[in-house]
Structure 1
Protein backbone atom coordinates (compact mmCIF):
# COMPACT_ATOMS: atom_id res chain seq x y z
CA UNK A 1 0.00 0.00 0.00
CA UNK A 2 2.62 2.51 -1.09
CA UNK A 3 0.29 4.86 -2.97
CA UNK A 4 -3.05 6.01 -1.55
CA UNK A 5 -5.68 8.31 -3.03
CA UNK A 6 -8.22 9.87 -0.66
CA UNK A 7 -11.38 11.44 -2.08
CA UNK A 8 -12.29 14.57 -0.13
CA UNK A 9 -15.76 16.08 0.10
CA UNK A 10 -17.36 18.46 2.58
CA UNK A 11 -19.33 15.92 4.59
CA UNK A 12 -19.92 14.37 7.99
CA UNK A 13 -17.28 11.77 7.15
CA UNK A 14 -14.47 14.19 6.25
CA UNK A 15 -12.55 13.92 9.54
CA UNK A 16 -12.89 10.14 9.55
CA UNK A 17 -11.79 9.86 5.92
CA UNK A 18 -8.70 11.92 6.65
CA UNK A 19 -7.92 9.98 9.84
CA UNK A 20 -8.20 6.60 8.12
CA UNK A 21 -6.16 7.56 5.07
CA UNK A 22 -3.40 9.15 7.15
CA UNK A 23 -3.36 6.16 9.52
CA UNK A 24 -2.85 3.75 6.61
CA UNK A 25 -0.18 5.98 5.04
CA UNK A 26 1.80 6.10 8.28
CA UNK A 27 1.45 2.35 8.83
CA UNK A 28 2.73 1.48 5.36
CA UNK A 29 5.06 4.42 4.79
CA UNK A 30 2.91 5.50 1.83
CA UNK A 31 2.51 8.44 -0.48
CA UNK A 32 -0.94 9.94 0.18
CA UNK A 33 -2.67 12.16 -2.35
CA UNK A 34 -5.69 14.22 -1.41
CA UNK A 35 -8.15 14.57 -4.28
CA UNK A 36 -11.07 16.93 -4.62
CA UNK A 37 -13.12 16.89 -7.81
CA UNK A 38 -14.71 20.20 -8.74
CA UNK A 39 -17.92 19.85 -10.72
CA UNK A 40 -17.89 21.23 -14.23
CA UNK A 41 -19.75 24.51 -14.57
CA UNK A 42 -23.28 23.80 -15.79
CA UNK A 43 -24.77 25.55 -18.80
CA UNK A 44 -26.99 27.92 -16.85
CA UNK A 45 -29.51 29.91 -18.87
CA UNK A 46 -32.31 32.31 -18.03
CA UNK A 47 -35.73 32.88 -19.51
CA UNK A 48 -35.94 35.79 -21.94
CA UNK A 49 -38.84 37.24 -23.89
CA UNK A 50 -38.33 34.69 -26.65
CA UNK A 51 -37.65 31.72 -24.41
CA UNK A 52 -34.47 30.38 -22.79
CA UNK A 53 -31.83 32.36 -24.62
CA UNK A 54 -29.47 34.21 -22.30
CA UNK A 55 -26.72 32.98 -20.02
CA UNK A 56 -27.10 33.90 -16.35
CA UNK A 57 -23.71 35.37 -15.33
CA UNK A 58 -24.67 35.87 -11.68
CA UNK A 59 -25.57 32.21 -11.30
CA UNK A 60 -22.39 31.13 -13.07
CA UNK A 61 -20.30 33.40 -10.85
CA UNK A 62 -22.02 32.05 -7.74
CA UNK A 63 -21.40 28.49 -8.85
CA UNK A 64 -17.71 29.23 -9.46
CA UNK A 65 -17.30 30.96 -6.10
CA UNK A 66 -18.96 28.11 -4.20
CA UNK A 67 -16.79 25.54 -5.98
CA UNK A 68 -13.62 27.53 -5.31
CA UNK A 69 -14.41 28.03 -1.62
CA UNK A 70 -15.24 24.35 -1.19
CA UNK A 71 -11.95 23.31 -2.80
CA UNK A 72 -9.96 25.73 -0.62
CA UNK A 73 -11.67 24.51 2.53
CA UNK A 74 -10.87 20.89 1.69
CA UNK A 75 -7.27 21.65 0.77
CA UNK A 76 -6.80 23.45 4.09
CA UNK A 77 -8.35 20.52 5.99
CA UNK A 78 -6.09 18.03 4.17
CA UNK A 79 -2.90 20.04 4.66
CA UNK A 80 -3.65 20.72 8.32
CA UNK A 81 -4.33 17.03 8.93
CA UNK A 82 -1.15 15.77 7.28
CA UNK A 83 0.89 18.50 8.98
CA UNK A 84 -0.52 17.49 12.38
CA UNK A 85 0.40 13.88 11.59
CA UNK A 86 4.00 14.90 10.89
CA UNK A 87 3.85 13.97 7.21
CA UNK A 88 5.98 16.07 4.82
CA UNK A 89 4.79 17.22 1.43
CA UNK A 90 5.60 15.23 -1.69
CA UNK A 91 9.03 13.57 -1.68
CA UNK A 92 11.10 12.81 -4.76
CA UNK A 93 10.62 9.32 -6.29
CA UNK A 94 12.80 6.74 -4.60
CA UNK A 95 12.76 8.48 -1.22
CA UNK A 96 11.05 6.31 1.38
CA UNK A 97 8.62 7.30 4.11
CA UNK A 98 5.09 8.68 4.26
CA UNK A 99 4.46 11.89 2.30
CA UNK A 100 1.45 13.79 1.03
CA UNK A 101 0.36 16.01 -1.84
CA UNK A 102 -2.81 17.60 -3.21
CA UNK A 103 -4.62 17.16 -6.51
CA UNK A 104 -7.60 19.12 -7.82
CA UNK A 105 -9.66 17.39 -10.50
CA UNK A 106 -12.63 18.59 -12.52
CA UNK A 107 -15.66 16.82 -13.90
CA UNK A 108 -18.01 14.17 -12.57
CA UNK A 109 -16.49 12.75 -9.38
CA UNK A 110 -17.44 9.19 -10.31
CA UNK A 111 -15.61 9.44 -13.64
CA UNK A 112 -12.52 11.16 -12.27
CA UNK A 113 -12.16 8.83 -9.29
CA UNK A 114 -12.79 5.74 -11.39
CA UNK A 115 -10.15 6.75 -13.92
CA UNK A 116 -7.47 8.53 -11.89
CA UNK A 117 -7.71 5.97 -9.09
CA UNK A 118 -6.37 3.20 -11.34
CA UNK A 119 -2.76 4.13 -10.64
CA UNK A 120 -3.04 3.89 -6.83
CA UNK A 121 -2.82 0.87 -4.53
CA UNK A 122 -5.73 2.03 -2.36
CA UNK A 123 -8.58 4.51 -2.69
CA UNK A 124 -10.16 5.90 0.50
CA UNK A 125 -13.68 7.33 0.40
CA UNK A 126 -16.24 8.38 2.98
CA UNK A 127 -19.22 6.18 3.68
CA UNK A 128 -22.50 7.56 2.29
CA UNK A 129 -24.76 9.02 4.96
CA UNK A 130 -28.57 8.89 4.91
CA UNK A 131 -30.32 12.10 3.81
CA UNK A 132 -27.06 13.70 2.65
CA UNK A 133 -25.62 14.20 -0.83
CA UNK A 134 -22.09 13.74 0.49
CA UNK A 135 -20.10 11.56 0.75
CA UNK A 136 -21.16 10.75 -2.79
CA UNK A 137 -22.52 7.28 -3.49
CA UNK A 138 -21.83 7.88 -7.19
CA UNK A 139 -18.14 8.63 -6.49
CA UNK A 140 -17.82 5.52 -4.33
CA UNK A 141 -19.37 3.32 -7.01
CA UNK A 142 -17.31 4.96 -9.75
CA UNK A 143 -14.15 3.98 -7.90
CA UNK A 144 -15.51 0.54 -7.09
CA UNK A 145 -16.55 -0.42 -10.62
CA UNK A 146 -14.06 1.52 -12.75
CA UNK A 147 -10.75 1.83 -10.89
CA UNK A 148 -10.06 -1.89 -10.44
CA UNK A 149 -8.39 -1.14 -7.09
CA UNK A 150 -8.98 -1.77 -3.42
CA UNK A 151 -11.39 0.65 -1.75
CA UNK A 152 -11.47 1.62 1.91
CA UNK A 153 -14.78 3.06 3.07
CA UNK A 154 -14.50 5.21 6.19
CA UNK A 155 -17.67 5.72 8.27
CA UNK A 156 -18.18 9.03 10.10
CA UNK A 157 -17.55 7.31 13.44
CA UNK A 158 -14.06 6.06 12.51
CA UNK A 159 -11.47 8.14 14.36
CA UNK A 160 -8.62 5.70 13.68
CA UNK A 161 -7.74 2.69 11.57
CA UNK A 162 -6.95 -0.55 13.40
CA UNK A 163 -5.24 -3.68 12.12
CA UNK A 164 -5.37 -5.97 15.15
CA UNK A 165 -8.55 -7.92 14.44
CA UNK A 166 -9.76 -8.19 10.85
CA UNK A 167 -13.01 -9.88 9.82
CA UNK A 168 -13.35 -11.37 6.34
CA UNK A 169 -16.98 -11.62 5.25
CA UNK A 170 -16.56 -14.78 3.18
CA UNK A 171 -19.30 -15.89 0.80
CA UNK A 172 -17.26 -18.00 -1.63
CA UNK A 173 -17.47 -15.42 -4.43
CA UNK A 174 -14.99 -14.17 -7.01
CA UNK A 175 -15.51 -10.61 -5.73
CA UNK A 176 -14.54 -11.52 -2.18
CA UNK A 177 -11.59 -13.62 -3.37
CA UNK A 178 -10.26 -10.64 -5.33
CA UNK A 179 -10.76 -8.33 -2.34
CA UNK A 180 -8.81 -10.67 -0.07
CA UNK A 181 -5.91 -10.76 -2.53
CA UNK A 182 -5.81 -6.95 -2.73
CA UNK A 183 -6.19 -6.63 1.05
CA UNK A 184 -3.39 -9.07 1.91
CA UNK A 185 -1.02 -6.35 3.18
CA UNK A 186 -3.64 -5.53 5.84
CA UNK A 187 -4.22 -9.19 6.68
CA UNK A 188 -0.49 -9.79 7.08
CA UNK A 189 -0.43 -7.09 9.77
CA UNK A 190 -3.42 -8.46 11.69
CA UNK A 191 -2.93 -10.14 15.05
CA UNK A 192 -5.97 -12.29 14.29
CA UNK A 193 -8.20 -12.87 11.27
CA UNK A 194 -11.82 -14.02 11.47
CA UNK A 195 -13.28 -15.82 8.46
CA UNK A 196 -17.00 -15.27 8.91
CA UNK A 197 -19.68 -16.87 6.75
CA UNK A 198 -23.45 -16.53 6.77
CA UNK A 199 -24.81 -19.72 5.25
CA UNK A 200 -27.78 -18.17 3.47
CA UNK A 201 -25.54 -15.52 1.90
CA UNK A 202 -22.99 -17.81 0.23
CA UNK A 203 -22.53 -18.78 -3.41
CA UNK A 204 -20.91 -22.00 -4.72
CA UNK A 205 -17.23 -21.84 -3.83
CA UNK A 206 -14.63 -22.89 -1.26
CA UNK A 207 -15.69 -23.11 2.37
CA UNK A 208 -14.55 -20.77 5.09
CA UNK A 209 -12.43 -23.59 6.50
CA UNK A 210 -10.65 -23.98 3.16
CA UNK A 211 -9.91 -20.27 3.00
CA UNK A 212 -8.63 -20.35 6.58
CA UNK A 213 -6.17 -23.16 5.78
CA UNK A 214 -4.70 -21.13 2.91
CA UNK A 215 -4.36 -18.04 5.09
CA UNK A 216 -2.70 -20.07 7.84
CA UNK A 217 -0.03 -21.05 5.31
CA UNK A 218 0.95 -17.38 5.33
CA UNK A 219 1.48 -17.59 9.08
CA UNK A 220 -1.79 -15.85 9.96
CA UNK A 221 -3.76 -16.67 13.08
CA UNK A 222 -7.22 -17.50 11.73
CA UNK A 223 -10.55 -18.23 13.39
CA UNK A 224 -13.53 -19.60 11.44
CA UNK A 225 -17.05 -18.57 12.44
CA UNK A 226 -19.98 -20.07 10.52
CA UNK A 227 -23.42 -18.56 11.03
CA UNK A 228 -26.50 -20.42 9.84
CA UNK A 229 -28.41 -17.17 9.46
CA UNK A 230 -31.73 -16.06 10.93
CA UNK A 231 -34.42 -13.50 10.18
CA UNK A 232 -31.90 -10.65 10.00
CA UNK A 233 -30.50 -9.53 6.63
CA UNK A 234 -27.11 -11.06 5.83
CA UNK A 235 -25.45 -7.65 6.05
CA UNK A 236 -26.85 -7.05 9.52
CA UNK A 237 -25.67 -10.47 10.71
CA UNK A 238 -22.20 -9.59 9.43
CA UNK A 239 -22.09 -6.22 11.18
CA UNK A 240 -23.57 -7.56 14.42
CA UNK A 241 -20.99 -10.35 14.53
CA UNK A 242 -18.15 -7.98 13.64
CA UNK A 243 -19.12 -5.80 16.57
CA UNK A 244 -19.51 -8.78 18.91
CA UNK A 245 -16.05 -10.08 17.97
CA UNK A 246 -14.39 -6.68 18.22
CA UNK A 247 -13.30 -6.38 14.59
CA UNK A 248 -11.29 -3.26 13.74
CA UNK A 249 -11.64 -3.74 9.99
CA UNK A 250 -13.94 -5.68 7.63
CA UNK A 251 -12.91 -7.19 4.29
CA UNK A 252 -15.78 -7.82 1.88
CA UNK A 253 -16.32 -8.31 -1.84
CA UNK A 254 -18.85 -5.84 -3.25
CA UNK A 255 -22.04 -6.65 -5.12
CA UNK A 256 -21.92 -10.43 -5.61
CA UNK A 257 -25.53 -9.83 -6.61
CA UNK A 258 -26.01 -7.09 -9.19
CA UNK A 259 -26.17 -3.51 -7.97
CA UNK A 260 -29.65 -3.11 -9.52
CA UNK A 261 -30.96 -6.20 -7.76
CA UNK A 262 -29.56 -4.96 -4.45
CA UNK A 263 -31.17 -1.56 -4.96
CA UNK A 264 -34.55 -3.22 -5.48
CA UNK A 265 -34.42 -6.17 -3.10
CA UNK A 266 -31.61 -5.26 -0.75
CA UNK A 267 -28.34 -7.09 -0.27
CA UNK A 268 -25.36 -7.45 2.03
CA UNK A 269 -23.23 -4.84 0.25
CA UNK A 270 -25.97 -2.22 0.26
CA UNK A 271 -26.73 -2.86 3.93
CA UNK A 272 -23.07 -2.63 4.95
CA UNK A 273 -22.47 0.56 2.95
CA UNK A 274 -25.44 2.15 4.71
CA UNK A 275 -24.66 1.01 8.25
CA UNK A 276 -21.04 -0.03 8.85
CA UNK A 277 -19.32 1.78 11.74
CA UNK A 278 -15.76 0.46 11.25
CA UNK A 279 -13.64 0.87 8.11
CA UNK A 280 -14.35 -1.71 5.42
CA UNK A 281 -12.20 -2.83 2.48
CA UNK A 282 -14.06 -3.62 -0.73
CA UNK A 283 -13.49 -4.35 -4.41
CA UNK A 284 -15.64 -5.71 -7.19
Structure 2
Protein backbone atom coordinates (compact mmCIF):
# COMPACT_ATOMS: atom_id res chain seq x y z
CA UNK A 1 0.00 0.00 0.00
CA UNK A 2 2.64 2.46 -1.17
CA UNK A 3 0.37 5.29 -2.35
CA UNK A 4 2.04 8.08 -0.37
CA UNK A 5 4.41 9.78 -2.79
CA UNK A 6 4.29 13.51 -1.99
CA UNK A 7 4.46 14.89 1.54
CA UNK A 8 4.00 18.63 2.01
CA UNK A 9 5.56 20.47 4.97
CA UNK A 10 4.72 24.18 5.22
CA UNK A 11 7.63 25.93 6.93
CA UNK A 12 6.74 29.40 8.16
CA UNK A 13 9.16 30.04 11.00
CA UNK A 14 7.44 28.09 13.79
CA UNK A 15 9.77 27.11 16.65
CA UNK A 16 8.66 23.51 16.06
CA UNK A 17 9.51 23.61 12.36
CA UNK A 18 12.48 21.27 12.69
CA UNK A 19 10.30 18.57 14.27
CA UNK A 20 7.82 18.84 11.39
CA UNK A 21 10.63 18.42 8.83
CA UNK A 22 12.03 15.44 10.73
CA UNK A 23 8.57 13.84 10.92
CA UNK A 24 7.94 14.50 7.23
CA UNK A 25 11.31 13.01 6.34
CA UNK A 26 10.61 9.95 8.47
CA UNK A 27 7.40 9.30 6.55
CA UNK A 28 9.16 9.99 3.24
CA UNK A 29 11.63 7.27 4.16
CA UNK A 30 8.80 4.96 5.24
CA UNK A 31 6.99 5.25 1.91
CA UNK A 32 9.84 6.11 -0.46
CA UNK A 33 8.22 9.50 -1.03
CA UNK A 34 9.15 13.04 -1.96
CA UNK A 35 9.32 15.64 0.80
CA UNK A 36 8.14 19.02 -0.44
CA UNK A 37 9.01 21.93 1.86
CA UNK A 38 6.96 25.06 1.19
CA UNK A 39 7.64 28.57 2.45
CA UNK A 40 5.10 31.28 1.66
CA UNK A 41 6.25 34.90 1.47
CA UNK A 42 3.52 37.47 2.16
CA UNK A 43 3.14 39.95 -0.69
CA UNK A 44 4.44 43.25 0.69
CA UNK A 45 2.47 45.10 -1.98
CA UNK A 46 -0.67 44.32 0.02
CA UNK A 47 0.39 47.20 2.24
CA UNK A 48 -0.06 49.72 -0.60
CA UNK A 49 -3.85 50.21 -0.11
CA UNK A 50 -3.08 51.73 3.29
CA UNK A 51 -1.99 54.88 1.46
CA UNK A 52 -5.65 55.75 1.06
CA UNK A 53 -6.29 55.53 4.79
CA UNK A 54 -4.43 58.64 5.92
CA UNK A 55 -0.93 57.18 5.59
CA UNK A 56 1.52 59.01 3.34
CA UNK A 57 3.19 57.40 0.35
CA UNK A 58 6.59 57.71 2.02
CA UNK A 59 5.32 55.85 5.08
CA UNK A 60 3.86 53.11 2.91
CA UNK A 61 7.17 52.71 1.07
CA UNK A 62 8.97 52.44 4.40
CA UNK A 63 6.49 49.82 5.59
CA UNK A 64 6.92 47.84 2.36
CA UNK A 65 10.70 47.97 2.70
CA UNK A 66 10.50 46.78 6.31
CA UNK A 67 8.13 43.97 5.34
CA UNK A 68 10.44 42.86 2.54
CA UNK A 69 13.39 42.71 4.94
CA UNK A 70 11.36 40.70 7.45
CA UNK A 71 10.12 38.34 4.74
CA UNK A 72 13.66 37.76 3.49
CA UNK A 73 14.84 36.98 7.02
CA UNK A 74 12.05 34.46 7.55
CA UNK A 75 12.81 32.82 4.21
CA UNK A 76 16.51 32.55 5.08
CA UNK A 77 15.72 30.97 8.45
CA UNK A 78 13.36 28.46 6.81
CA UNK A 79 15.93 27.56 4.18
CA UNK A 80 18.68 27.15 6.79
CA UNK A 81 16.47 24.87 8.88
CA UNK A 82 15.70 22.77 5.81
CA UNK A 83 19.31 22.56 4.59
CA UNK A 84 20.57 21.59 8.05
CA UNK A 85 18.09 18.73 8.32
CA UNK A 86 18.78 17.44 4.81
CA UNK A 87 22.55 17.53 5.36
CA UNK A 88 22.14 15.68 8.66
CA UNK A 89 20.35 12.81 6.91
CA UNK A 90 22.31 13.01 3.63
CA UNK A 91 19.15 13.50 1.56
CA UNK A 92 19.42 14.33 -2.13
CA UNK A 93 17.81 17.64 -3.07
CA UNK A 94 15.80 17.83 -6.28
CA UNK A 95 13.44 20.23 -7.99
CA UNK A 96 9.73 19.92 -7.13
CA UNK A 97 9.16 18.26 -10.52
CA UNK A 98 8.43 14.51 -10.37
CA UNK A 99 10.26 14.06 -13.68
CA UNK A 100 13.59 14.54 -11.96
CA UNK A 101 13.31 11.73 -9.44
CA UNK A 102 12.96 7.98 -9.55
CA UNK A 103 9.58 6.83 -8.17
CA UNK A 104 9.83 5.18 -4.79
CA UNK A 105 13.04 6.95 -3.77
CA UNK A 106 13.43 9.47 -0.98
CA UNK A 107 13.98 13.01 -2.20
CA UNK A 108 13.32 16.54 -1.01
CA UNK A 109 12.78 20.01 -2.43
CA UNK A 110 12.34 23.55 -1.13
CA UNK A 111 9.97 26.03 -2.73
CA UNK A 112 9.22 29.66 -1.85
CA UNK A 113 5.98 31.14 -3.18
CA UNK A 114 4.47 34.57 -2.70
CA UNK A 115 0.84 35.15 -1.73
CA UNK A 116 -1.69 34.67 1.03
CA UNK A 117 -0.16 32.09 3.36
CA UNK A 118 -3.32 30.16 4.21
CA UNK A 119 -4.59 30.09 0.64
CA UNK A 120 -1.28 29.07 -0.95
CA UNK A 121 -0.71 26.28 1.57
CA UNK A 122 -4.26 24.94 1.15
CA UNK A 123 -3.94 25.00 -2.65
CA UNK A 124 -0.57 23.21 -2.61
CA UNK A 125 -1.94 20.67 -0.14
CA UNK A 126 -4.65 19.69 -2.61
CA UNK A 127 -1.98 18.27 -4.92
CA UNK A 128 -0.13 16.45 -2.14
CA UNK A 129 -0.91 13.18 -0.38
CA UNK A 130 -0.58 14.44 3.18
CA UNK A 131 0.46 17.62 4.99
CA UNK A 132 2.78 17.60 8.00
CA UNK A 133 2.60 20.72 10.16
CA UNK A 134 4.40 21.80 13.34
CA UNK A 135 2.56 21.46 16.61
CA UNK A 136 1.18 24.80 17.86
CA UNK A 137 2.69 25.91 21.14
CA UNK A 138 -0.32 27.11 23.11
CA UNK A 139 -4.07 26.72 23.43
CA UNK A 140 -4.78 30.24 22.25
CA UNK A 141 -2.73 29.62 19.12
CA UNK A 142 -4.58 26.40 18.42
CA UNK A 143 -8.06 27.93 18.67
CA UNK A 144 -7.21 30.98 16.59
CA UNK A 145 -4.71 29.57 14.11
CA UNK A 146 -6.04 30.29 10.64
CA UNK A 147 -3.20 28.25 9.15
CA UNK A 148 -4.28 25.14 11.06
CA UNK A 149 -7.93 25.67 10.14
CA UNK A 150 -6.89 26.13 6.53
CA UNK A 151 -5.10 22.80 6.19
CA UNK A 152 -7.72 20.92 8.19
CA UNK A 153 -10.83 22.29 6.50
CA UNK A 154 -9.77 23.78 3.15
CA UNK A 155 -7.16 21.38 1.77
CA UNK A 156 -9.28 18.27 1.31
CA UNK A 157 -6.31 16.18 2.46
CA UNK A 158 -5.28 14.56 5.75
CA UNK A 159 -2.99 16.44 8.10
CA UNK A 160 -0.32 15.17 10.48
CA UNK A 161 0.50 17.43 13.42
CA UNK A 162 4.06 16.59 14.40
CA UNK A 163 4.82 16.50 18.13
CA UNK A 164 7.21 19.12 19.48
CA UNK A 165 9.60 16.33 20.45
CA UNK A 166 9.67 13.30 18.17
CA UNK A 167 9.44 9.90 19.88
CA UNK A 168 12.09 7.22 19.18
CA UNK A 169 9.58 5.48 16.90
CA UNK A 170 6.96 7.18 14.75
CA UNK A 171 4.10 5.23 13.21
CA UNK A 172 5.13 1.98 14.89
CA UNK A 173 2.32 1.65 17.44
CA UNK A 174 -0.78 3.49 16.26
CA UNK A 175 -4.26 4.10 17.61
CA UNK A 176 -7.41 4.89 15.68
CA UNK A 177 -10.03 6.93 17.51
CA UNK A 178 -13.45 5.78 16.32
CA UNK A 179 -16.98 7.02 17.01
CA UNK A 180 -18.84 5.95 13.86
CA UNK A 181 -19.02 9.45 12.34
CA UNK A 182 -18.31 10.37 8.70
CA UNK A 183 -15.26 12.35 9.85
CA UNK A 184 -13.73 9.36 11.62
CA UNK A 185 -14.48 7.19 8.57
CA UNK A 186 -12.72 9.64 6.27
CA UNK A 187 -9.70 9.79 8.58
CA UNK A 188 -9.63 5.98 8.78
CA UNK A 189 -9.58 5.58 5.00
CA UNK A 190 -6.75 8.08 4.60
CA UNK A 191 -4.82 6.42 7.43
CA UNK A 192 -4.72 2.97 5.80
CA UNK A 193 -1.13 3.32 4.46
CA UNK A 194 0.13 4.11 7.97
CA UNK A 195 -1.91 1.35 9.60
CA UNK A 196 -0.54 -1.10 7.02
CA UNK A 197 3.05 -0.15 7.89
CA UNK A 198 2.54 -0.14 11.67
CA UNK A 199 3.72 -2.94 13.94
CA UNK A 200 0.65 -2.70 16.18
CA UNK A 201 -2.78 -1.12 15.62
CA UNK A 202 -5.49 -0.52 18.20
CA UNK A 203 -9.01 0.84 17.62
CA UNK A 204 -10.20 2.98 20.51
CA UNK A 205 -13.87 3.70 21.16
CA UNK A 206 -16.21 4.73 23.94
CA UNK A 207 -19.87 3.81 24.14
CA UNK A 208 -20.45 7.22 25.75
CA UNK A 209 -19.09 9.00 22.68
CA UNK A 210 -20.33 6.65 19.96
CA UNK A 211 -22.38 8.33 17.21
CA UNK A 212 -24.90 6.64 14.92
CA UNK A 213 -22.78 4.47 12.66
CA UNK A 214 -20.66 1.31 12.51
CA UNK A 215 -19.26 -0.10 15.71
CA UNK A 216 -15.50 -0.40 16.34
CA UNK A 217 -15.67 -4.17 15.80
CA UNK A 218 -16.79 -3.49 12.23
CA UNK A 219 -13.73 -1.27 11.78
CA UNK A 220 -11.58 -4.21 12.82
CA UNK A 221 -13.19 -6.32 10.08
CA UNK A 222 -12.75 -3.50 7.56
CA UNK A 223 -9.04 -3.30 8.35
CA UNK A 224 -8.77 -7.09 8.01
CA UNK A 225 -9.98 -6.79 4.39
CA UNK A 226 -6.86 -4.65 3.84
CA UNK A 227 -4.60 -7.19 5.50
CA UNK A 228 -4.28 -5.14 8.68
CA UNK A 229 -4.64 -6.86 12.05
CA UNK A 230 -5.96 -4.65 14.84
CA UNK A 231 -7.21 -4.96 18.40
CA UNK A 232 -10.28 -3.16 19.79
CA UNK A 233 -10.24 -1.37 23.14
CA UNK A 234 -13.06 0.48 24.85
CA UNK A 235 -12.09 3.42 27.06
CA UNK A 236 -14.17 5.01 29.78
CA UNK A 237 -14.77 8.75 29.78
CA UNK A 238 -13.30 10.33 32.91
CA UNK A 239 -14.94 13.51 34.27
CA UNK A 240 -16.80 13.94 30.99
CA UNK A 241 -13.51 14.66 29.18
CA UNK A 242 -13.41 12.49 26.06
CA UNK A 243 -10.18 14.03 24.76
CA UNK A 244 -8.23 13.36 27.96
CA UNK A 245 -9.62 9.84 28.19
CA UNK A 246 -8.68 9.12 24.59
CA UNK A 247 -5.11 10.29 25.15
CA UNK A 248 -4.90 8.22 28.34
CA UNK A 249 -5.90 5.14 26.32
CA UNK A 250 -3.17 5.97 23.79
CA UNK A 251 -0.63 6.16 26.61
CA UNK A 252 -1.73 2.77 27.90
CA UNK A 253 -1.10 1.29 24.46
CA UNK A 254 2.25 3.14 24.24
CA UNK A 255 1.09 4.63 20.95
CA UNK A 256 3.29 7.07 19.03
CA UNK A 257 0.55 8.12 16.59
CA UNK A 258 -3.20 8.71 16.82
CA UNK A 259 -5.68 8.92 13.94
CA UNK A 260 -8.89 10.87 14.57
CA UNK A 261 -11.49 12.79 12.63
CA UNK A 262 -11.34 16.57 12.91
CA UNK A 263 -14.56 18.02 14.21
CA UNK A 264 -15.93 21.53 14.45
CA UNK A 265 -19.19 22.52 16.12
CA UNK A 266 -19.52 25.30 13.57
CA UNK A 267 -18.76 25.53 9.90
CA UNK A 268 -17.53 29.09 10.40
CA UNK A 269 -13.77 28.84 10.30
CA UNK A 270 -13.22 31.68 12.73
CA UNK A 271 -14.80 29.73 15.59
CA UNK A 272 -12.74 27.33 17.68
CA UNK A 273 -12.39 23.65 16.93
CA UNK A 274 -14.67 21.17 18.65
CA UNK A 275 -13.88 20.30 22.28
CA UNK A 276 -12.41 16.82 21.74
CA UNK A 277 -10.29 17.90 18.79
CA UNK A 278 -9.03 20.96 20.62
CA UNK A 279 -8.13 19.04 23.80
CA UNK A 280 -6.20 16.44 21.83
CA UNK A 281 -4.33 19.13 19.90
CA UNK A 282 -3.42 21.00 23.06
CA UNK A 283 -2.28 18.05 25.14
CA UNK A 284 -1.09 15.26 22.82
CA UNK A 285 2.58 14.30 23.00
CA UNK A 286 2.30 11.92 20.06
CA UNK A 287 1.85 12.53 16.34
CA UNK A 288 -1.75 13.30 15.34
CA UNK A 289 -3.21 12.17 12.02
CA UNK A 290 -6.38 14.12 11.30
CA UNK A 291 -8.88 13.96 8.45
CA UNK A 292 -12.45 15.01 7.85
- Where does the alignment leave 5 or more consecutive residues of structure 1 unmatched? none
- 1:179 corresponds in structure 2 to 187
Q: C-alpha distance in 2, partners of 1:99/1:251? A: 26
Following TM superposition, by how much is the alpha carbon of 1:270 offset from its aligned partner in structure 2, in angstroms? 1.3
- 2:31 corresponds in structure 1 to 28
Q: Mark the CA change 1:21 to 1:185 in structure 2 (over 3 Å): closer, same or farther.
A: same
Following TM superposition, by how much is the alpha carbon of 1:227 offset from its aligned partner in structure 2, in angstroms? 2.1
Q: Mark the CA change 1:216 to 1:256 in structure 2 (over 3 Å): closer, same or farther.
A: farther
**TM-score, normalising length from structure 2?**
0.88
- 1:202 corresponds in structure 2 to 210
1:126 to 134, 137, 144: 134
Q: Mark the CA change 1:175 to 1:35 in structure 2 (over 3 Å): closer, same or farther.
A: same
- 1:155 corresponds in structure 2 to 163
Following TM superposition, by how much is the alpha carbon of 1:258 offset from its aligned partner in structure 2, in angstroms? 3.3
Q: Map Cα deviations across residues 140-185 of structure 1 (whole Å, 9 max, x no partner).
A: 2211112111111112122555122110010111111111111111
- 2:86 corresponds in structure 1 to 82
Q: Is the 8 Å Cα contact of residues 24 and 161 (structure 1) preserved in structure 2?
A: no
Alignment root-mean-square deviation, CA = 2.7
Q: Map Cα deviations across residues 189-248 of structure 1 (whole Å, 9 max, x no partner).
A: 111111001233221110111111221233322111112423142111111111121001
Q: C-alpha distance in 2, partners of 1:191/1:208? A: 20
Q: Mark the CA change 1:115 to 1:27 in structure 2 (over 3 Å): closer, same or farther.
A: same
- 1:269 corresponds in structure 2 to 277
Q: C-alpha distance in 2, partners of 1:264/1:3? A: 29
- 2:172 corresponds in structure 1 to 164
Q: Map Cα deviations across residues 85-137 of structure 1 (whole Å, 9 max, x no partner).
A: 12101271444410011111222221111111111111111122117869x82
**TM-score, normalising length from structure 1?**
0.90
Residue 193 of structure 1 pairs with residue 201 of structure 2: yes
Alignment of 1:229-240 (within 5 A): 229-240=237-248
Following TM superposition, by how much is the alpha carbon of 1:271 offset from its aligned partner in structure 2, in angstroms? 1.2
**For structure 1, which segment, 80-89 or 27-36, has the greater mean C-alpha deviation from structure 2 after superposition?**
80-89
